[in-house]
Amino acid sequence: MYKIIDGKKIAAELRLKIKSDVSDFKKNTGRDIGLAVVLVGDNQASQIYVRNKIKACEEVGIKSFAYYMPKETSQNELNALISELALDENLHGILVQLPLPEHINSEEALKLIPESKDVDGFSANNIGNLCLNGKSLVACTPNGVMKMLEYEQINLNGKNSVVVGRSNIVGKPMAMLLLNANSTVTVCHSRTVNLKEHCLNADVIVAAVGKAKFITADMVKEGAVVIDVGMNKDENGRLCGDVDFENVKEKCSYISPVPGGVGPMTITMLMYNTYISASRSAN
């Protein structure tokens, strides 16, 4: 018998807690918490993400400052804006929505976000601190996955975890978080030989490959925990994950669905990081 991990419900509970923490922060310091959201160009998916991030800010009481820049924005113009936001004491977080237009060097722009305001957790310092098990702002999606596992009291100690996908945004920080939780971690990717064998050995699978229904039932051990980070379209144009949910679920002890799994957690963790950044700046 499998249990569905309800990301929507966990995210809603967390947002209530964040809302109350934000309200306490305001009472105690007399200050607002501010998040800058920068969108360059007119990528449709990015527009939806940004709108949802601003909505989440309203929900938890964080003040958002949106900067919409045209797709022709130059590297210098974007760099200048980020440098200005970096100095603004009313801002505790700066989020530059990715992907940026092709003529912009993302790494150069993101490097201008100070570590303390890097609420995406993408900077070299924050990733480095995560590896050293120090105080870092952790990338939102993998941190959301950890909160889901924690909520369900899934014990990771000594368990075999397989992360499928090695992106800087999800796969790599995910592997580090699982390692920090004393799991034995294998990171699989497009060049991995015998992917199925690795997956069959896993107590926990985190699928973050970006391929619809890529993880099939024959790859999953009886009783495994399966977390699906994928956001794909199926053959009918409907949102689906990296896991063949209908066939895989019967083999699992826990499984997260798409939609309604990891997705709602990501923006919640952005709110969490912004609150953490503000409270660190106040101390």
Residues near ligand GUN (CB under 6 A) are: 95-98, 120, 140, 169
Is the CB of 120 or the CB of 203 nearer to ligand GUN? 120
**What values do phi and psi take at 162, rounded to 5?**
-120, 125
Strands 224-228 and 160-164: unpaired
Amino acid at 128: G
Choose, from 21, 53, 203, 213, the residue flagged as catalytic: 53
In angstroms, give the least distance from the CB of 263 to ligand GUN: 11
In angstroms, give the least distance from the CB of 203 to ligand GUN: 27
Cα angle 48-178-259, degrees, rounded to a multiple of 5: 30
- Rounded CA separation 103/157 (Å): 45
Is the CB of 120 or the CB of 228 nearer to ligand GUN? 120
- Rounded CA separation 55/156 (Å): 33
Per DSSP, the three-state class of 278 is: helix
Is the CB of 35 or the CB of 252 nearer to ligand GUN? 35
CA distances from 101 to 78, 167, 226, 255 (A): 11, 19, 34, 35
Residues 233, 259 contacting (CB under 8 angstroms): no
With b meaning 16 or more CB within 10 Å and e meaning fewer, what string describes 48-63? ebbeebbebbebbbbb
Is the CB of 57 or the CB of 95 nearer to ligand GUN? 95
Q: Is 97 a catalytic residue?
A: yes
Choose, from 21, 118, 120, 242, the residue flagged as catalytic: 120
In angstroms, give the least distance from the CB of 127 to ligand GUN: 14
Is the CB of 10 or the CB of 96 nearer to ligand GUN? 96
DSSP readout, 194-220? Answer: SHHHHHHT-SEEEE-S--TT-B-GGGS
Structure tokens at 84: 């200005």
Choose, from 21, 63, 97, 117, the residue flagged as catalytic: 97
Q: Is 120 a catalytic residue?
A: yes
In angstroms, give the least distance from the CB of 157 to ligand GUN: 28
Q: Is 53 a catalytic residue?
A: yes
In angstroms, give the least distance from the CB of 8 to ligand GUN: 18
Catalytic (active-site) positions: 53, 97, 120
